[in-house]
Amino acid sequence: LGSSVFQLQKMIAVNLTTKMHTMRVLVLSSVGPNLDAVVNFLKCFPCLERLYVIFQSPSYKDMNNVRKYDPLDPIECLELHLKKVVLKNYDGTRDSSINFAKFFVLNAKVLKEMKITLPYHRQHGWFANQSSLLRVRNRASPDARIEMRCGTKDDFTHNKHTHDLSMDDPFDLPYGGCYMCKEKGLGDGVYQV
């Protein structure tokens, strides 16, 4: 892209010489939650407003996602532009996935909405624990709405609107709800954390 080179198999930004100010929406597909790679992309796209990350495999190798945000080396989109983050197929039981999500909760200063979908059903208490693990009370954007949805595996392969950028959000798939939550009378499986 431009004069920036990415090694796509490993999702590593090899050369970050160009910043692309026109990129507003970015969708990344990753085997696991590789925070270093995603932060490299964020630096390339300083005006990014919406970020979608789809984790493809629940059996990924655990990654060391303990990256700290350095205010002396700010990431422009986290400071000024990133309003929506969507994490698809979030595990939530491994430190790497928790730290990945927590990075955006604690550092996206103008975040309005964060949607996290899980590929399986979880009990109500699990969501309260996630709120604590993600440190939602300390979020960088106090008005951000953070929502978790259980019982849905998304990969965008069935969404025929992903190329229709005239739509408000072509990547926001309709959510039919978690069948287990509905079956147990627990609502549709959407939780505000």
Q: If you average pLDDT over each of 24-28, 104-108, 128-132, 163-167, which comes out highest? A: 104-108
Mind listing the pLDDT tens digit for each residue in 16-49? 557 888 889 888 888 778 888 888 889 889 999 9
For residue 144, the cross-strand partners are none
Whether residue 127 has pLDDT greater than 70: yes
Distance in angstroms (rounded) separating the CA atoms of residues 79 and 71: 10
Mind listing the pLDDT tens digit for each residue in 9-23? 444 444 555 788 888
Give me the chain's average pLDDT, please.
Answer: 78
**Stronger pLDDT, 68 or 118, i.e. the higher one:** 118
> By CB neighbour count within 10 A (0-12 exposed, 13-18 middle, 19+ buried), where does 14 fall?
exposed
Region 134-152 average pLDDT: 91
Whether residue 180 has pLDDT greater than 80: no
What's the pLDDT at 72?
78
Distance in angstroms (rounded) separating the CA atoms of residues 133 and 93: 10
Domain holding 90, by residue range, is 5-192
CA angle 30, 65, 92 (to 5 degrees): 70
Whether residue 164 has pLDDT greater than 70: no
Residue percentage of the chain with pLDDT more than 90: 31
Domain tally, the chain: 1
What's the pLDDT at 12?
47
